[in-house]
Structure 1
Amino acid sequence: MASKIVAEYAKSARSSCKKCGATISKDCLRLGIVSKGPGNFDVTKWHHIDCFPSESHEVIGEKISGFSLLKHIDQEALRKVAHNRKAFNSLDAEEKDKGSSKKLKTYGIYKEVAGSSVDKMQGEGDGNVEENKDSELEIKFSVNEIKEKYKDANLIPNWKAFQTVIFLEQEDGFHTSSKIAAFDFDGCLVKTSVKRVGPDAWSLLYPSIPAKLQSLYNNGYKLVIFTNESNIDRWKNSRQKAVDSKIGRLINFIKLVKIPIQVFISCGMEGTGDPFRKPRTGMWRLLQKNFNSGLEIDMDQNPVFRQIDISKLYGPY
C-alpha cells in the first residue's frame, strides 16, 4: 500500500525533520509521510519542504491530504515539488547518482560545476562580469524563509517578504501564463516624486494605461510589476513609513486599473550587489521559477516595458 502524503502548518515546534533533524517551527509548512506502525497505528514522518524526498515519493498537489487548506503560495510550492520529481525521473541513472555534478533541489534543478567557484566562472568568458554573474544567478527560494514582516516593518495581509524582496501573494484573478508583460512602476506606469511620501502621492503617467493593461490581460498575458525601493532599507528609523508608502501606492494603482497584477519590490540599496535590485535579474528569476506554477515562459512573446518604451505602448498624453 502506497504511503499517504499530508501537508499542514506545524501546530507547535515539537516536531523535527526526519531528514535534516532540525526543528520544524510552529506555523511552518511541513510535509508528512504517513505509514502504518506497530499495532497498525498511523505514524507520520515530518519533513521540511526542502528536505522532502520527492524523488522517491509521488507528490501530486491536489491528492495531498490538507492541500486545499493551504495558502495559495504554499500550494504553488508543492506543485513545484511535483514538477521537480518529474524532472528527476527524466534523468538517467548516472545523473541520479549522488556523485554526479547535477543535483536536484526542491525549487529547481541547478548545475554545480565540480572544482569551479562562482567567482571563477563569473570572471571567464567575454569579460562582461555583470552579465556573466546573472547568467549563473540561482535564487534558492524556500517557503521557510517567507516572513510576515520586512525586518522591523509590518506587512499588511497578502504581502510577504523573502530576503530583500517584498511580494504580493497570489490572489483571485491571477493566472499562470507563458506570456509575461513586465513593467517598472515609477516613471513607467505612474508619476511620483522623491519629495512626496504616502499611498496617494502618485498619478497615472498616461491616461490610456488602464485600457492598455486590460488589453494585455485579455490577450492572455500575466501582468507583473518589478520595482526598486531602496528607501525601505535606507530609512532605518522610518522603515514602516517607507513600506506603507510603497505598498499603498501599488495597492491604489491596482485598484484603479482593476486588473490582477503580480508585484515584486526590491528593497536593497544600490552598490550592495543585491541580486534582486534591478538591473540584476533576481526578481525575474523568482517569478520564472517559483511564481508561475512551473510553466515555462516564452521569452519570444514577453515584452518588458521600461521608460524608453512607454510612449510606443501608451501613446502621447
Structure 2
Amino acid sequence: MLNFSNCFNIVPNIRNPKALTPVKFAFGLNSSRKTLIIPNPSRLPLFAVSAAMSSAPPSAPVKLVVEYAKSGRSSCKICSKSIASSSVRLGSVSKDPRGFDMTKWHHLNCFPFRNSDPVSSPESIKGFSSLKSSDQESIKKLLDEGAQASEKVSEIEENDDKDPEQGNLKKQKLASEEGAELQLEMVISASDVKEKYKDATLLPKWKAFQTIIFLERDDCLHDSRKIAAFDFDGCLAKTSVKRVGADAWSLMYPSIPEKLQSLYKEGYKLVIFTNESNIERWKNKRQAAVDSKIGRLENFINLVKVPIQVFIACGVSSGKPEDPFRKPKPGMWKIMEKEFNSGLPVDMDQSFYVGDAAGRPNDHSDADIKFAEAVGLKFYVPEEYFIDSN
C-alpha cells in the first residue's frame, strides 16, 4: 500500500492511534443526515479527532445572516462568482472545529434554502430588518420556494427504506431540475458509503458513493484552503484505451514528481478528479476495469511519493439525467469541498486545475476546461504547467 516515508519527516500528532476506536464524524449543515464512519481516526487532524470524540453536546444549528456586501471581494460558495458591492448577500454562520465562527456567503438566488436547517421566519435571519422592503420580499419568496422543495424531498425520503438507490437517483434528478445550474442534493450517511462499487470489490482505503469511487484520506494527507487539482489520463499519466492493467501507464512528464512534492511542501492539498466510464460500461468485466484504474492511481502515487486525494467519476456521458459527478459537471469538486476538506473554505485565488481536455482541435473533449469554469478555478493544460512553468 501507499507509503511516503513519513512524508518529509512530518511527525504524527497522535501517539497511540491503536487506542482510538472508530468514531462517527458529522459533516455539513445538517449533521443528522451527513455522517460518515471514519475507520481510523489517527488519520484525522488532532483537532478533528478531539472534536469527534468529545462528550460535548451536538453543535447548535447553523445561523443565517443577511446584509449588503461591503465590497466586491467575497465570492459565492455555490457559483464561485464574486458578490457585487452593495448587493444582498446571505451567509451561513457555523462553528469551525477550531472554535471560531465561519461565514459562507452566497448570492441571494444561489442560497440553498432547501438544504439548510429550517428557518422559522424571515425575521429570524440576522440583519433582515435592515433590508429594503423589496429585498425583504425577495427573501420571503425564496423561503417559500425552499419550503415547497423540501416537502418534495421529504416525500421521496419516505420511500428510501423501500428502495434507497432509487431514492438517491430521484434526489439527484430533483436537484438538477430545480435550477439552471446543478445543485447537488448531497445526503451522505454511513450506509451510503460502500466497500464495493456495485459488484466490484475495492482495495482497502477506497470507497464508493453513488457513481464515484474515492480515496478519501491517506497517510500524511492534509486538508487545506489551497487546492492543486489535476486530471489523470493524458495529464499526469500516459494511458491508452487499448491497454488494461495497473502497470499499463507511464509518467506524462519527468518534472511531475518534483512539481507535486513542491506543491505539497507549500501547503497545497493535491487532488485528482478523473472520469472512467469503463467502470460503469464494462458490466461483465467491471472488476478488471476497477483494478486497472485504481492500480494505476496507486502506482502513480507511490512513484511521486506524495499523498493525493482521488475522486473517480464512473458514470457515462450519455446518461439521462446527466451524471452529476462526471466532468464537466462539478459534482466531484462539490463533494470534496463540502464533505472532505474539514470544513475549510477554499481559496479560489490560489487554487487551480490542470487537465488536457481543453477543447483544442486535437483534444478528445473540452470536459476539463469546462469543469474548471463550472467550479471557478484557474485552468492550465499539462504542457503549460509542467513544461512552460519550469
- Structure 1 residues 274 and 224: alpha-carbon distance in aligned structure 2, compared to 1, 3 A threshold: same
Q: Name the residue aligned to 1:125.
A: none
What displacement does 1:85 show? 3.2
The answer on 1:151 being equivalent to 2:209 is: no
Q: 2:231, 2:273 within 8 Å by CA — same for their partners in 1?
A: yes
**Aligned pairs (5 A) from 1:181-260:** 181-260=228-307
Q: Name the residue aligned to 2:329.
A: 280
The answer on 1:133 being equivalent to 2:181 is: yes
> Please, which runs of 5 or more residues in structure 2 have no aligned partner?
1-19, 67-90, 93-112, 118-142, 150-173, 359-380
SS of 2:229's equivalent in the other structure is strand
Aligned AA (1:113): G
**Aligned pairs (5 A) from 1:88-167:** 88-89=62-63, 104=116, 113-115=146-148, 118=175, 121-122=178-179, 132-134=180-182, 136-167=183-214
What displacement does 1:69 show? 6.3
SS of 2:59's equivalent in the other structure is helix
What displacement does 1:114 show? 3.8
Q: 1:139, 1:285 within 8 Å by CA — same for their partners in 2?
A: no
Q: 2:33, 2:189 within 8 Å by CA — same for their partners in 1?
A: no
Cα RMSD over matched residues?
Answer: 3.9
**Aligned pairs (5 A) from 1:7-156:** 50=32, 70=41, 72=43, 85=59, 88-89=62-63, 104=116, 113-115=146-148, 118=175, 121-122=178-179, 132-134=180-182, 136-156=183-203
What displacement does 1:147 show? 0.5
Aligned-partner Cα distance in 2 for 1:119–1:146: 22
SS of 2:334's equivalent in the other structure is helix
Aligned-partner Cα distance in 1 for 2:21–2:283: 35
What displacement does 1:271 show? 1.4
SS of 2:317's equivalent in the other structure is coil
Q: 2:238, 2:250 within 8 Å by CA — same for their partners in 1?
A: yes
Cα deviations across residues 238-269 of structure 1 (Å, max 9, x unaligned)?
A: 00000000000000000000000000001111
Q: Name the residue aligned to 1:34.
A: none
- The partner residue of 2:355 within 306, 310, 317 is 306
Aligned-partner Cα distance in 1 for 2:318–2:279: 15
Aligned-partner Cα distance in 1 for 2:38–2:244: 41
- The partner residue of 1:292 within 317, 321, 341 is 341
Cα deviations across residues 134-173 of structure 1 (Å, max 9, x unaligned)?
A: 2x33422223211111100011111111111111131221
Aligned-partner Cα distance in 2 for 1:182–1:203: 19
Q: TM (normalized to structure 1)?
A: 0.66
Aligned AA (2:387): G
Aligned AA (1:50): S
Aligned-partner Cα distance in 1 for 2:198–2:383: 38
- Structure 1 residues 67 and 144: alpha-carbon distance in aligned structure 2, compared to 1, 3 A threshold: closer
Aligned-partner Cα distance in 1 for 2:231–2:38: 34
Q: 1:158, 1:168 within 8 Å by CA — same for their partners in 2?
A: yes
SS of 1:301's equivalent in the other structure is coil
Q: TM (normalized to structure 2)?
A: 0.54
What displacement does 1:68 show? 9.5
Q: 2:315, 2:325 within 8 Å by CA — same for their partners in 1?
A: yes
- Structure 1 residues 227 and 158: alpha-carbon distance in aligned structure 2, compared to 1, 3 A threshold: same
Q: Name the residue aligned to 1:315.
A: 387
Aligned AA (1:215): S
- Structure 1 residues 215 and 86: alpha-carbon distance in aligned structure 2, compared to 1, 3 A threshold: farther
**Aligned pairs (5 A) from 1:253-272:** 253-272=300-319
